[in-house]
Amino acid sequence: MRNKLREERFKLRMSQYVLTNLSGVSQSRISLIENELSEPSEAEKKKIAKALKVKISDLFPDTSANGNGY
């Protein structure tokens, strides 16, 4: 299922560079994840969701119920 990372980042008017600094996930990984060329690890999902202040399941709808927090 499609992730919503790009849409959420755009809503916040946040660049990949800023997200990289807030999350600790590299810009190249964020780009790959947004373009669905790579699946993020659980740790990356948590870091990105926390940086965007959203639930993991809001960004990655296929995440299990146990991964809803950030």
CA 39, 42, 47, 53 torsion-angle sign: positive
Both tokens of 30, joined, read 């964020």
- Rounded to an integer, the average pLDDT of 49-70 is 79
Containing structural domain, residue 27: 5-55
pLDDT at 2: 86
Helix (H, G, I), strand (E, B) or coil at 34: helix
Count how many domains the chain has: 1
Give the pLDDT confidence of 12-53 residue by residue, as tens digits.
999 999 999 999 999 999 999 999 999 999 999 999 999 999
Q: Write down the pTM of the prediction.
A: 0.85
Both tokens of 19, joined, read 């997200």
pLDDT at 1: 61
20: domain CATH number is 1.10.260.40
Q: Could you tell me if residue 33 is inside a domain?
A: yes
